[in-house]
Amino acid sequence: MADGRKVLVIVEATQEQHLALERAVITSEIKEPGSHVHLSISVDSEKTNLSADNENLYRDDHWLNAIMDKLKNAGASFSFELCWSNEWQKAVLASAQRFQPDHIFMPDSRDEKKSLFSNQQWALLRTSVAPVTIVRSSEIKPRKKILAAINIQKHDIPEYARLNEKILIDGQNIAKHYNADFFVVNAYKDSMHFPDCQKIMKISGLPSDRVHAEEGDPASVISRYAKEIDADTVLIGTMARQGASALMKGNTSEKVLSKIDVDVIAYS
């Protein structure tokens, strides 16, 4: 990850703690000096009570200055914009189009009453041209174990090969810069679809004890192995879709997100 990376951080205006910002600041401080952080401050209307009696909708200069101070204290170059569009995903994508980030950090906004992500958040994961880190853990610390989930069985299909390559290269780079251990997991549905582990080792450059292949539901296999090795970051792919199909839920990516509590980096 070269100097001068451009990082887009999504700041949910109704929240007091900004985990995505804290992760981006640590990333800039530890491994990416010279990064520029651009804040997209907004409210996801699907996840937020927009009535006037919601006190969290009212923000003042103290709230904004606290965010600015965090970046100033880190010595980070930064800029910001505020947008109150009810088309949250389109607004973030428009911001990304203008800023052209290398990476996007998004806070996890799960609650007990609503789904894991709003439709607009899920659409962002499906359509973003840059990897999106969903910051899940309240304990922000350097990464130690990186797990990349790939689908080698479909590696002959160009779009899957491209996605596998992006995940593996980025995972290797993250592991290198954090001096972290790197692992790869590949699920398969039955013995007829057993993956070519030699091929995984060849394209990943990993020894056999860092490559895990297991029969079963992909989300269950990935989440179980992530917990087994105590991974703190999981890289997964979300096949890009357009229009209404971009909002479809229930696939492997969302199931993985629902089963683990560590940071997830999504690639489309």
139-155 per-position pLDDT tens digit? 667 789 999 999 888 88
What number is the average pLDDT over the span 21-33? 71
Task: State the greatest distance between any 2 C-alpha atoms of the chain, in Å, as a whole number.
Answer: 61
Q: Where do the domains of the chain lie? A: 6-135, 145-267
Confidence at residue 184, expressed as pLDDT on a 0 to 100 scale: 97
Tokens in use for 52? Answer: 């006037």
Q: Provide CB contacts within 8 A for 128, sequence distance 6+.
A: 93, 96, 104, 266, 268
Overall fold of domain 145-267: Rossmann fold (3.40.50)
Pairwise CA distance, residues 96 & 98, whole Å: 5
Tokens in use for 12? Answer: 């949910």
Pairwise CA distance, residues 194 & 188, whole Å: 6
Confidence at residue 181, expressed as pLDDT on a 0 to 100 scale: 96
CA angle 262, 183, 22 (to 5 degrees): 30
Residue 234: pLDDT band with limits 50, 70, 90: very high
Tokens in use for 70? Answer: 């965090």
Question: Using CB atoms within 10 A of its CB, is residue 226 exposed (0-12), middle (13-18) or buried (19+)?
Answer: buried
H or E element in which residue 9 lies:
strand 6-12
**CATH: 3.40.50.300, 3.40.50.620, 3.60.40.10, 3.20.20.60. Which one for 6-135?**
3.40.50.620
Pairwise CA distance, residues 130 & 106, whole Å: 12
In the chain, pLDDT over 70 holds for what percent of residues? 85
Q: Does the pLDDT at position 202 exceed 60?
A: yes
What number is the average pLDDT over the span 239-257? 58
Question: Using CB atoms within 10 A of its CB, is residue 167 exposed (0-12), middle (13-18) or buried (19+)?
Answer: buried
Other Cβ atoms closer than 10 A to 74: 17
Pairwise CA distance, residues 22 & 252, whole Å: 28
Torsion of CA 165, 166, 168, 171, to 10 degrees: 170
What number is the average pLDDT over the span 105-120? 64
Confidence at residue 138, expressed as pLDDT on a 0 to 100 scale: 62
pLDDT digits (tens, 9 = 90+) for 73-93: 888 889 999 988 888 888 888
Tell me whether domains 6-135 and 145-267 share a fold: yes
